[in-house]
Amino acid sequence: MPRAHGPAIEAQLRLHGPRTALQLAEALGVSQPTISRAIASLGDDVVRLGRARSARYVLARPLARAGDRWPLHRIDADGRPHTLGELRALHGDRFQFTSTAPRPVLLQGEFRDGLFPGLPWFLDDQRPQGFLGRQLAHRVAADIGAVDDPLRWTPDDIVLCLLRYGDDAPGDLVLGDTALQSALQHALAPQTIDATQRQTHYPILADAALRGEIVGSSAAGEQPKFAIILRDGDSHRPVIVKFSERSGTPAGRRWADLLRCEHLAAAALRAHGQPAAESQVFEADGRVFLESTRFDRTPALGRRGFVSLAALDAAFYGHGRIDWWRFAPLLQRDGWLDAADAQRLAVLGWFGTLIANADMHLGNSGLHLADAAPLALVPAYDMLPMAFRPASNGELVARDYAVVLPTPEQREPWQTAAVIALAFWSAVADDPRISVGFHAIARGAHETLRRALDRLR
């Protein structure tokens, strides 16, 4: 009787994870047709992965009170929703994604049959992280039965959070109908502030963010920030706004300098043909505010896809940390980037190094996620001389600027980056809003880098 073998099959799948019909037949000492009939009798409790003789079977599992499967949606640049497929929870913290159409970027390599050992890599950047992510986690942890620290969340915790509160995560993906409905409703009646009222509203929003209130999305990054939509007449502009401490302390003044440096770095990149996030700087209530237009949102309140290099690396490479100029040729080799964007990533990697950006992890760059490769590199963001940030206790520690020199094969992107970095350091040294102490740092860095570039020309 097929049903008689059902419990034994379930036990095998719980113990060993995905199994083929042949493996199950050998383990239970029965024929493959018997296994096939028994699996059919188990219905939706067993999920089939792949086709024909290579097909594997795995147990489905419900997730809390949220069921075991959910639609995955995309909101396009015009704000229209599209269903990409279905995410399903499987035994052993695994997930299956079934696509409604061929999507070679999402399902390739070891993931071609839709099986993922944890949360699918293309959803990894949607998990709560950074300053705003910790605030969101603290607010919703009790509701989803998770601990306060999102770094300790399980994949199930993340999925529950996305299902209930994932309406405005980075990128264009939305998991589940509840979050999608919330996202669409917010686009119909967006909460905005008038662009002419930023000087008044930004200090209020900064104080609210520091009190732990959720202001905007769970965009990543440790710098205090909030996310809002600006209204300028009939147009809308989603932005992320970082802010400094009040400038009455040395640490506050240094963070104000660094935010201005981030604005100047983006301007230098754009002036030399390198796409970078559009930004503006404001002063209000003793703070400096850096407002950056979101490249994963559109004026129509639509969205653009995003995946960080960190998520891509974790899924397909496993470096953890790698210089961007070393990663770029690997991404080009494997079809993720075309030659032009691979070259641009290498230049950005060297530029960040030459402006003393000590925070060049893979989460600080990414690609516009789409169905087919190559993917487009997103505009540069979070580019600032973090080596000169205050220490954790607020002290300003003296640090020397040192030039990292290229290997012969990296000479061309290094030289391109060095020219842009010289323009950056010159702009910092000439900016009257930047402190005298940081002017001296900029002049020293400019002279050191100029000598290095002259020797390599």
Q: Given CA atoms 428, 343, 279, 241 in this order, what sign does their dihedral have? A: negative
Q: Which residues does the annotation mark as catalytic?
A: 359
Beta strands of 149-201 (E only): which ranges? 173-175, 192-194
Q: How far is Cα 191 from Cα 267, in angstroms, rounded to an integer?
A: 29
Tokens for 105?
């970027």
Running DSSP on this structure, what letter comes out for residue 285?
Answer: T
Q: How far is Cα 132 from Cα 101, in angstroms, rounded to an integer?
A: 34
Distance of alpha carbon 372 from the chain centroid: 19
Q: Is 77 helix (H, G, I), strand (E, B) or coil?
A: coil
Q: How far is Cα 95 from Cα 17, in angstroms, rounded to an integer?
A: 12
- The answer to whether the beta carbons of residues 344 and 309 sit under 8 Å apart is no
Neighbours of 292 (CB within 10 A): 23
- The answer to whether the beta carbons of residues 83 and 100 sit under 8 Å apart is yes
Half-sphere exposure of 64 (CA within 13 A, CB side): 15
Q: How far is Cα 170 from Cα 190, in angstroms, rounded to an integer?
A: 17
Entry field: residues in the chain:
457
Q: How far is Cα 423 from Cα 411, in angstroms, rounded to an integer?
A: 19
Tokens for 346?
């290498």
Helix axis angle, 130-144 to 198-210, nearest 10°:
50
Of 419, 417, 422, 439, which Cα lies nearest the Cα of 430? 439
